[in-house]
Amino acid sequence: MKKALIPLIILILLIGGIVLVSSSKPAANGQTNPSQTDFKNNVEIEVVWNNLVREQKDWIFDLIFTTHSGDLTTLPIGEMAKLEVGGERITGLNWEITSPDPHHMKGTLKLSNPPKVDINQQVTLILKGVGGSEEHRFTWGTK
């Protein structure tokens, strides 16, 4: 009886795994993980591209900053942020702080009416000058 249950349990687990994998919709650029982290000059930045599907009306990026030197809330993140899409630089991202902790700041970058992007194009978020570093780069795409 127990030997007969083992293949049945394996089959159920296998089917469950297939259903789980097929139901987790990959992003339009082939990536399933929209979260990336970069650490430079004592500043860690985690970026989550909330709506990684590129056909959305707005692109929304959640940012989490961590540092133990300086006040991050005074930085003009919206001006420091640029998107690079297919080699073209895009500015005009709107920045909103959602947690104004000077050492653990959180906020949202939003690009309204983003360009149409081919599935094979990279999308790179560039934050220039945060913590004195030249650039923090976060890239999604297949290239």
Which residues, given as ranges, of the chain have pLDDT below 70? 1-33, 52-56, 142-143
What gap in Å lies between CA 38 and CA 134, rounded to an integer? Answer: 12
| Tens digits of residue pLDDT in 51-91 | 766 566 889 999 999 998 888 899 999 999 999 988 889 98
Residues facing 109 on adjacent strands? 61, 95
CA-wise closest residue to 102 among 68, 59, 140: 68
Residue 87 one-letter amino acid: G
What gap in Å lies between CA 136 and CA 3, rounded to an integer? Answer: 55
Angstrom CA distances, 138 to 12, 33, 43, 54, 81, stand at 39, 12, 14, 16, 11
27 Cβ partners below 8 Å, 6+ apart? Answer: 34, 49, 52, 53, 140
Going along the chain from its start, the domains and CATH numbers come out as: 34-140 (2.60.40.1630)
pTM: 0.72
Which pLDDT belongs to residue 14? Answer: 52
